[in-house]
A and B are shown apart, each in its own frame.
Chain A
Amino acid sequence: MIHVVESLDPAVVKMDIRDLNVYYGSFHAIKNASLEVADRKVTALIGPSGCGKSTFIRALNRMHDLTPEARVTGTVSLDGTNIYDQSVDPVVVRHRVGMVFQRPNPFPKSIFENVVYGPKTHGERNRNELMACAERSLRRAALWDEVKDRLFKSALDLSGGQQQRLCIARVLAVEPEVILMDEPASALDPIATSKIEDLIGELKKDYTVVIVTHSMQQAARISDLTAFFLLGELIEVGTTSDIFTRPKDRRTEDYITGRYG
């Protein structure tokens, strides 16, 4: 079965995932998952712990390349080009598809150096240009006012929520088209979480966002589309309001109504 949202116009499909399988050694972690990710929308991936949603999202910017025992089959198309094609450089893929991790992972460098890490890596050397980029990215991540007076202090002195917004700013500085977020608020307190959620609402004006979350409330609050995973299978995908009010699959309904997970 192919999971498509009936209303999704092919013109607005940013990423098209077809028959994706991920294996860790002999463990079959993702089974034949297909999903269309709409441009400039927030797509939430929900499901109980261990259902494969993190494994799925890591396949979207080839992070599994870093894990020797992981193997990926199927296609993941970004604007029509399969990112697993032999001719595609994973470095370019990750440039276009950025990622924010579960735990804030700033580099042990200054706030400024964290933000401009990507641009510097891609060859930008002009100090004024880097400074402008840092300000632009930090403003977009709603962190500028809190850190503008201590840009050259260590990023490790920031609070967890600030560190996570710094990690988002660091991704924005690379100017990606898609931002993947793997439970970005799970290590944060409620206030920091709501700041991240507000930020995601802002970001979808310019970026395509795919977010893994273990919180159904969070998915309901911030996402336009929701995909439900169970035991490595993508069970159902639809608009968030449909998934939460009129799920088609029995298992989705059981999960939404709290019967397991």
Chain B
Amino acid sequence: MSEATLSLEAVRARSARGVRARRAADRLATGLLWTAAISVVLLLAFFVGYIFYLGVGAISWQFLTAPPSEVSAGGGIGPEIYNSFYILILTLIFTAPIAISAGIYLQEYAKPGAFRSLVQFSAESLATVPSIVMGLFGLLVFVYYFGWHFSALGGALTLTILNLPALMRVSQEALASVPSTLREASMALGATKWTTITRAVLPSAVGPLTTGIVLIAGRIFGETAALIYTAGVSVAAGKGAYDLSPFRPAETLAVHVWYTHAESVVPDVARIGNGSALVLLAMVLLFNVGARIVGRFLTIRFTGKA
């Protein structure tokens, strides 16, 4: 009854109060979400700044090129940088063809059903295996069973198994981002399925595909636990550290950061650890930025679209 007898002014006043309350709620929510978002940026900035502050004093040409030292001060990380790239490239050579092929199969060929579910379930399960467990698996298989001892190849194969599911998913998603109307257009012009994939779908997916691969390359570059027991924590002395053979112990930069802090007895362990961490972080950030630039460049190159 009282509702019906309210004057027009009273109704307007009430609705204005409602609007004010909702505006306040809106502002509050916006503020909270903005704070959450900005804290991610601040966290990264603090993290990068701190590592830079600690590590920059250690960086010198000598540090970046010299071999590591086991006992005395003044060791460098030259072979570790070399090994990180060596294992990265070897891993991508193994991973990319298998992962991209599997991604193409799942996205373009597999019909919904038992087999596709099995492949996806296997990939998801594989992706949840902790990297240290994968490292111990590599130790059993590559180091002991195949008798390769600690080797760059064993490390790369372990990382291949570790990153296969993620790269397969990235490939599948890159292909899924291509609109189905392009596939229809190609098929309607009398192209076969394979031609449609190679000439219409893959060129359109090359941008996201490259971005995905480079981001995963960053992860491979920084991987530690899976390499400790497979590629090892040492490098050969002298020129042997830069050998091209995959059958040699190959400590990477990330492993070196762990090793110097956990096991090493050199007096300048803090300097080496901080310097290595800075180089590692810089490389990984470079991969992330590079992923965007390369992805964008390839998209323009292959599709003429900015």
Contact = CB atoms under 8 A, between A and B. Distances in A.
Interface string B103-132: 000000001100000000000000000000
Contact of B188 (A63, A122, A154): A63
Main secondary structure of the interface of B (DSSP, over half): helix
B187 A94 contact: yes
Interface residues of A, number: 31
Given A153-B304, A154-B304, A154-B305, A105 B185 contact: yes
A167 B112 CA distance: 31
Given A66-B183, A68-B111, A108 B189 contact: no
B238 interface: no
Contacts of A171: 188-189
Given A108-B204, A154-B304, A121 B195 contact: yes
Contacts of A94: 187-190
Contacts of B182: 105, 107-108
B181 interface: yes
Contacts of A120: 199
Interface stretch (A24-32, A33-41, A95-103): A95-103
B86 to A, nearest CB: 36
A118 interface: yes
Interface residues of B, number: 25
B184 interface: yes
Contact of B181 (A91, A103, A110, A122): A103
Contacts of B188: 61, 63, 94, 98-99, 101, 171
A117 to B, nearest CB: 6
A130 interface: no
A68 B111 CA distance: 8
A103 B181 CA distance: 9
Given A107-B200, A154-B304, A63 B187 contact: yes
Interface in B72-87: none
B191 interface: yes
Nearest to A108: B303
B111 A156 contact: no
Contact of B189 (A66, A156, A174): A174
Nearest to A105: B181
A68 B303 CA distance: 29
Closest 8 CB pairs of A and B: A154-B304, A108-B303, A95-B190, A99-B188, A105-B181, A118-B189, A94-B190, A121-B191
Given A68-B112, A107-B303, 16 more contacts: A63-B187, A63-B188, A91-B190, A92-B190, A94-B189, A98-B189, A101-B185, A105-B182, A109-B203, A109-B302, A117-B186, A120-B199, A121-B186, A154-B305, A170-B185, A170-B189
